[in-house]
A and B are shown apart, each in its own frame.
Chain A
Amino acid sequence: MNPFDDNRANDNDDLTELLNELPEVDPPATIVPTVMSTIAGSARAVTTPRVTTFRRGSTMAKKVLWSLAGAAAVALVALRVVGYPPVKEGTEATIGAAQRYQAPQVAAADVKVEDQQFQDFLQSDLFRELVNDKAAQDAVQNPDLQKALADANVRAVLANNEARLAVANNARYLVRADARRDAIAQLKLDAKLRAALEAALEASPALVAAISQANVADALAKSSLARVLARPDAALAISNNAVLQVMRQASANARNDAAVNASANAATNARIK
């Protein structure tokens, strides 16, 4: 081959033949469904404007935004240090009593969740819902499910409502290698989704192990976990160790709060009587 000649018909030397002999490989069947389900679940619309404009049409520079955000953070820290807002006298005992029952909060320095996408998830209603859902928590803390959700193909399949329900309802067949193909063939899913599900189960022993546990399979369909899995960004977040750590602590706090409230209500009822 003469590399200065653009005509491939003249590429007939041994090295070119060796290279041309490498087989063209068919792409995995999961690429199209994974990409399409991910972009469907993506919160960001491609048409979303990326810049902030003011009345006169000027563009707000990123560094100005960062400066404002930094100033706001400094102000918040300063207010925190000087103790604002002031606590009214007479409330100390009530607050103190409640604090005795609370587990220590997770400090920012304890857990670093640096990805903005994960930070957004931690601030969402969905996260609060998940933290307060015992069945979902049990499933989320399952190591097999965590490992399975680290795989983008598994997340893509479980993001689809029909596929997720099918997995939850047919888990006992899908976990069996000898029955899986027949079970998938009978699912009322379109061909691409069936192929993606089969590929995900074949490629992820962790997914098979996860859905072989009844509490995990049930949670896929019924609990707030289903709403998390429907969003690939949220599903990715719950496979992140730092997010899981925050979630464990928040869930423990929520249970403690519930116990404190129950205790306070019982005491109040006793006084009324």
Chain B
Amino acid sequence: MVDTDDAAVVERCLAGDHNAYEAIVTRYQKGLFNVALRMLGNYEDARDATQTAFIKAYEHLDSFDREQRFFNWLFRILKNECLNVLRGRRPSEPVSPGLQAGNGADPVEARERHQAVQEALMALSVEYREVVVLRHFTDLSYDEIAATLGIPAKTVKSRLYTARQQLGDRLVEWQVAR
């Protein structure tokens, strides 16, 4: 799938108009940042990974296959950045307190619930976490998730099934307590 707006911006950047890239960053920063946030569970790490992904994408724009969807390509770069962060992270690093905020009838309970969900996400392996994040925090279809991750759609579905089983086991008390 080719997004003609993105393709036009890429052409302008490759022609030397680097200011055109701002449209790409503005368009995708929220989606990419939230994906990074759920993948990493830390606000600062997500910010840095998102910034680095945008910068690396710009530096390698000439290798972007314009038959692909730009977000898919950008996501793969972001995923590598997230993996770099996770590899360098200490095992016991806590979930960022900034992620716990939320609205609800009981803000304290909502915060605790959100923290529990984020911790359950972080307990998944990266392969399982990424399918859950792409399914629930982006509007990608299964086929698009498959294209983004470079795996068959059937694998996306089976990973999502297992990931949700594991999440369900960890969050069982929250599902009945709500």
Chain A positions near chain B (C-beta within 8 angstroms): 1, 3-4, 6, 14-28, 30-32, 34-36, 38-40, 42, 44-47, 50, 152-153
Contact = CB atoms under 8 A, between A and B. Distances in A.
A46 B48 CA distance: 22
Contacts of A36: 18-19, 21-22, 25
Nearest to B38: A22
Which 5 pairs between the two chains have the least Cβ-Cβ distance?
A: A27-B33, A14-B175, A3-B160, A35-B54, A3-B161
Contacts of A15: 164, 167-168, 171, 175
Interface centre among A23, A27, A30, A44 (most CB of B within 10 A): A27
Interface in B94-134: 98-99, 101-104, 110, 113-114, 117-118, 132
B163 to A, nearest CB: 9
A42 B59 contact: yes
A1 B164 contact: yes
Contacts of B82: none
Give the dominant DSSP class at B's interface: helix
Contacts of B55: 35, 38-39, 42
B5 interface: no
B112 to A, nearest CB: 12
Contacts of B98: 25
Interface stretch (B9-17, B65-73, B84-92): B9-17
Interface residues of B, number: 57
Given A19-B117, A20-B136, A39-B58, A31 B51 contact: yes
A152 B52 CA distance: 9
Interface of B: 13-16, 18-19, 21-22, 25-26, 29-30, 32-34, 37-38, 43, 47-48, 50-52, 54-55, 58-62, 98-99, 101-104, 110, 113-114, 117-118, 132, 136-137, 141-142, 157, 160-161, 164, 167-168, 171, 174-176, 178
15 contacts: A3-B164, A6-B142, A15-B171, A16-B136, A21-B114, A23-B102, A23-B114, A25-B34, A25-B98, A30-B47, A42-B55, A42-B59, A47-B16, A152-B51, A152-B52
Contact of B174 (A18, A42, A152): A18
Nearest to B15: A47
A14 B120 CA distance: 15
A26 B21 CA distance: 20
Nearest to B133: A19
A32 B30 contact: no
Given A3-B157, A15-B175, A22-B102, 18 more contacts: A4-B161, A6-B142, A14-B178, A19-B136, A21-B102, A23-B101, A23-B114, A25-B34, A27-B34, A27-B47, A30-B47, A31-B25, A31-B33, A31-B47, A31-B54, A35-B55, A36-B25, A46-B62
Given A15-B171, A46-B61, A22 B22 contact: no
Contact of B33 (A3, A25, A42, A50): A25
A46 B13 contact: yes
A8 to B, nearest CB: 8
Quick one: which of A22, A40, A42 has the most chain B CB within 10 A? A22
A134 to B, nearest CB: 34
